[in-house]
Each structure stands twice: as C-alpha cells, then as structure tokens.
Amino acid sequence: MMRMEKPPAPLIVPDPDDPRLTQRVSGIDQTGVTVEIKVPVERPLTLYLNAQEIVTMMTIGDYPEYLALGYLLNQNMLKYDDVVTEVEYDDDLQVVVVRTEHHTNFEAKLKKRTQTSGCAQGTAFGDLLEAVESVALPKAELRTSWLYRMTHAINTMPSLYLEAGAIHGCVLCKESEPVCYTEDVGRHNAVDKIAGWIYRHGVDPADKILYTTGRLTSEMVIKTVRMGIPILISRSGFTAWGVDLALSGAERIIYDQNLAYIEEESARSKRKGEGRDD
Amino acid sequence: MMRMEKPPAPLIVPDPDDPRLTQRVSGIDQTGVTVEIKVPVERPLTLYLNAQEIVTMMTIGDYPEYLALGYLLNQNMLKYDDVVTEVEYDDDLQVVVVRTEHHTNFEAKLKKRTQTSGCAQGTAFGDLLEAVESVALPKAELRTSWLYRMTHAINTMPSLYLEAGAIHGCVLCKESEPVCYTEDVGRHNAVDKIAGWIYRHGVDPADKILYTTGRLTSEMVIKTVRMGIPILISRSGFTAWGVDLALSGAERIIYDQNLAYIEEESARSKRKGEGRDD
C-alpha cells in the first residue's frame, strides 16, 4: 500500500434518497387500515478474492468495493500489507472481485470457519483473537463533549435509518465530527465498509473514534482493534466478553461536558427508540 | 424420527437467575460515577456433525443440544427425515456432537458457504430458497387479541433481556401462550434453539406462532417457513425481501381486540425501548 500518494478520502454520508436502497411496501395497521411504508432492500453480493469465490452477502448494495475490501480485511483473508491491484464490481451480476498482486493462501483459513455471535459473517475467530492480543493501540483520549456533539450530529443527519428503519449504522468520527457514516442490513456489513474505506484511502485510524448502533460483542471489539481504532462507542448494549476484550480504559475519558446544559438538548434530539433491533 | 413415542415437550422459559448466563461488570456513568451492571456472557460452543467439525458459535450457553440440532436443521445440513441417534454435550470442552444413523453428505454444502444479512451463521442460501419455494404452509389464523395477550406475557415474564439487556429473544406461542421462549446473544441462535426444541420433542409447528425481537430479514423468514410455522411476528423492523418472501397474508388476521381497552394496558407493560439492538 502506498498510502502517501492517495488523494484525500471522500466524506461518506448516508444517501436516503437513493431509490435503489429502499422500497415501498404496503401493510395493515392495528386498526385494519392499509398503510404504505419505506423499508430497506436486501440484495445478494457475491465476493471473489482473485479466482476464489468467498461468500455471498446480503447487503443494501451501496459501496460494494468498501464492503468487499473491509470484509476480507476483517476476516483476516487479506492482510494490511497485501497489495490490492484492482477491485472490480459488476452491477448486473452482483459480483465484486478483489485482485491482489500475489495470491493469498486463504483456503487453509476457509477450512476451519468460525461463526460468531450476533450478526456475523464468519470469522476465523481463534486467528483474530491471537492477532488482537499482540496489538498495541495508539494512545487516545475521549472528551465527553465530543460524545454529545457526535451523537447529536449522527441522530439529526438524514439517514436510511430515519427514512426506512430496520438498518444498522457505523460512524467513523474525528473528535466529534463524522467522516464516514455507513449503513447496512447487518451491523457487520456497516463496520466492514468503514474498514474498506480506511484501507482504500489510507486513512489514519489512530485519531478516530468508531460509533456503532449495534451491540458490542467480542467480534465487534476485535474488528475495531484490528482496524487500529483506539476508541469504540455503542448506543446499544454489550456482552461480558466484549467488555473484557476492550479493557474499557476509563482513565482516557475527559469530563468536559456541562451536563446541566445537555439534558434538554439530548431529549430533543433523541433517536426513535424502537425498531432498530437486529 | 419416532415422534409419537416422545414424552411431552418441556415448557422452556428464560432463567435470568442462572449465574452462568450473566456477569457483573463495572463501568462509569455520564457523571463519572462508578456503576455495576449485569451483562450477558458469550462463550464459544463448537459443533460437530458426526466426526466433522462444523462451526464454533458464540452463545450464552444454555440449551446447547437444541442449538446444535436447530443450527444443523436450519442450515439444511440435517434433514427432517435424518435419524439422530445422539446429541452429546461436553461442558468442559465446550463441544456438542450430533450423531446420525447414516452419515450426511454435508461437505458438498460446506464448499459453497453463503453468508447472510444481519445476524447470520452462514446459510446455504440458494438451497434454502429453493426448499422454501416448494413449501405449502398449513392454514392458520391470527387473532389480534392473541397478539396483545402474547406481547403482554412476553414483556412481563422474567428474562435475561430484562435482567441484563443486549440479547435477543424468540418465543414460540400457541395462540397467545408462550411454550418455548429462548434467548441468546445472536437472534439466529435464539431461533435455532426453537427449531431444535421442536425437532427434539416432535412438537407440531402447524398451530404455532413464532415471535422474535429481531428484524425480519429474508433469512429469518426462510427459517420460519423451513420450521413449518405458519405465522411469524416481530416487534422490530423488516426488509423488503423479508416481506416479499413472507407474502404477508393479511386475510388471515382477525380483528377481535377492543383497541380502546388496550391502549392504557400496553403503555404500562411496554418493554424498555433502548438497548436491545444488535
């Protein structure tokens, strides 16, 4: 990877007006009246690494290149020092092909597939756990004022979630500012797209914060560490192992937010509480 | 399967007091004060079909036998007419082995693994879709009064969700009455446990209703059809393909609930809205 020569990374935000991403369906409400609502689409996307078929994913279908790269990186099928020569997407065939300079020996990895909790795309879990244990993440701090500004920005930004629900979001932020906001029917697709965007554009993960609408299971923590992002935030719950792996690091939090001021504000910008489950 | 000779199926309800299923973790709230909360555990469970290692799942760890059987059935690795001779669970090794009278030819299926949207354990999607298209589900009706009674029962019953959050639930009901209520860190584990319970105890799926806290993606609809359950209910959202596959069937709904009466009641028994995401 020649990161220094890359052009600046584009800002990624949801595009709720993209007609390919949602569909209108008719239903009946509790009083028997017909209602029409927008829901997200799911479509299959088949991923190849060189000549090898890897997987067919169900996705809303935006950013297939980021999803393909991020999936392979987060599955440890592609290493960060592998040289990717091309990412080819065929809209008609719903196929995306990632080509590398040297063939990767991924077949051995495929032999023992590990499936994981929650929304998963099958992770070589033992491998990943090992890789994660040897990682030293960059020093980082988290200001509570960033947290409030960040969630306000995310909750008020137009998104497929606000438009159609039933979708997960991941947002990569620098301090409180979203720089890459991805959504998908699976929370792992959303985070994989972020990994692909970071890799594709040579973005420095060390000064970033990852926000997810999904729960923090062990796999989500592992992916974040693997991406080199020092801080992970969820608006949702977490499992015991997720917390264990993350080591939390409360000493990195700086309490600079005036809480009295924020109470009212946060009540106003609160997200829809229901309907976000997975 | 000799269904007629089986003893009656046990009623399955969550056991939030089981100390193996939750763990206390310390954290810090928005004011900097240390708080201690209960969160669900995740532990690996490795599944074998005869001598073949299939997968390692992350699960809370209750009902490994149901999870193993249901996973294999819902993945189409085990057919409903296969004869299971033994399900062996080793708590120390965290291994569960399903043995069949005749070896199944699952390796061909493993070759082309399809991953799916949301929480997935890898489904041979094309295969399943084909299987589902030829299924004729039993006739069924759904009374709106059942819906209200059922959700009231589910929302007020002690559960890991109410105790520790960050977990999904699936509830198999007969009319409005829960007969098998399973929970797990992934919504697919919860539904797979139901499939295993149905199979293990020879339960008739034709007069049942499946309730899930998770979103209705295509995969969730396909599993329900495969289990032979005619009605699927979600308290969460759905995707366009999910609706498409389910064909909805509004003509089966009977509006027998007095809505004026229920408004107040449902407000009182409302579930915690936040923290349930995946």
pLDDT digits (tens, 9 = 90+) for B68-106: 999 999 888 888 888 999 999 999 999 999 999 987 766
pTM of the model: 0.79
Beta-sheet strands, E only, within chain A: 22-28, 34-40, 43-49, 52-59, 84-90, 95-100, 142-143, 168-174, 177-184, 208-212, 231-234, 253-254
**A31 compared with A140, residue with greater pLDDT:** A140
Task: Say whether A243 and B39 touch across the interface (CB within 8 A).
Answer: yes
Task: Say whether A39 and B114 touch across the interface (CB within 8 A).
Answer: no
Contact list in A for residue B187 (CB cut-off 8 A) is 118, 278
Residue A259 pLDDT class (50, 70, 90 cuts): confident
Nearest by CB to residue A119, choosing from B25, B238, B278, is B278
Give the list of residues 6+ apart from residue B151 with CB closer than 8 angstroms, or none. Answer: B211, B235, B266, B269
Supply the pLDDT for residue A127: 63
User: Chain A closest CA to B257's CA: distance in Å?
Assistant: 9
Report the C-alpha gap between B171 and B182 in whole angstroms: 6
The residue assigned the tokens 């997720």 is: A242
pLDDT digits (tens, 9 = 90+) for A43-61: 999 999 998 888 888 999 9
pLDDT > 70: percent of chain B: 81
Report the C-alpha gap between B264 and A38 in whole angstroms: 29
**B190 compared with A261, residue with greater pLDDT:** B190
Q: What is the mean pLDDT of chain A?
A: 82
Lowest mean pLDDT among A35-49, A104-118, A224-238, B219-233: A104-118
Residues 103-122 of B with CB under 8 A from A: 112-122
* Whether the Cβ atoms of residue A193 and residue A164 lie closer than 8 Å to each other: no
* Whether the Cβ atoms of residue B278 and residue B214 lie closer than 8 Å to each other: yes
User: In terms of CA atoms, which chain A residue is nearest residue B28?
Assistant: A250
Q: What is the mean pLDDT of chain B?
A: 82
Lowest mean pLDDT among A153-162, B169-178, B256-265: B256-265
Chain B contact present for A239, CB below 8 A: yes
Contact list in B for residue A120 (CB cut-off 8 A) is 58, 119-121, 186
Please provide residue A198's backbone torsions phi and psi, each rounded to the nearest 5 degrees.
Answer: -60, -45
Supply the pLDDT for residue A119: 31
Chain B contact present for A74, CB below 8 A: no
Contact list in B for residue A277 (CB cut-off 8 A) is 168, 213-215, 235-237, 276-278
**pLDDT at residue A199 tops 90:** yes
For the record, the structure tokens of B101 come out as: 């009278």
What ipTM was predicted for this assembly? 0.70
Residue A121 pLDDT class (50, 70, 90 cuts): very low
Maximum C-alpha span of chain B = 61
Helical H segments across chain B, by residue range: 64-74, 107-111, 125-133, 144-156, 160-164, 187-200, 218-226, 240-246, 259-268
Q: What average pLDDT score do residues A201-221 get?
A: 90
Query: Please, is A69 exposed, middle or buried when counting C-beta atoms within 10 Å of its C-beta (0-12, 13-18, 19+)?
Result: buried
Q: What average pLDDT score do residues A79-101 get?
A: 93
User: Chain B closest CA to A6's CA: distance in Å?
Assistant: 32
The alpha carbon dihedral of A278, B56, B228, B149 has a sign of: negative
Task: Say whether A278 and B187 touch across the interface (CB within 8 A).
Answer: yes
User: How many Cβ pairs within 8 Å bridge chains A and B?
Assistant: 217
**pLDDT at residue A28 tops 70:** yes
Q: What average pLDDT score do residues B172-186 get?
A: 94
**pLDDT at residue B50 tops 80:** yes
pLDDT digits (tens, 9 = 90+) for A142-190: 998 998 899 999 999 999 999 888 889 999 999 999 999 999 988 889 9
The alpha carbon dihedral of A30, A32, A37, A43 has a sign of: positive
User: In terms of CA atoms, which chain A residue is nearest residue B147?
Assistant: A30
* Whether the Cβ atoms of residue B257 and residue B147 lie closer than 8 Å to each other: yes
**pLDDT at residue B20 tops 70:** yes
Q: How many CB atoms lie within 10 A of CB A29?
A: 9
Q: How far is CA A264 from CA A158, B59, B264, in A?
A: 22, 39, 27
Report the C-alpha gap between A145 and A113 in whole angstroms: 41
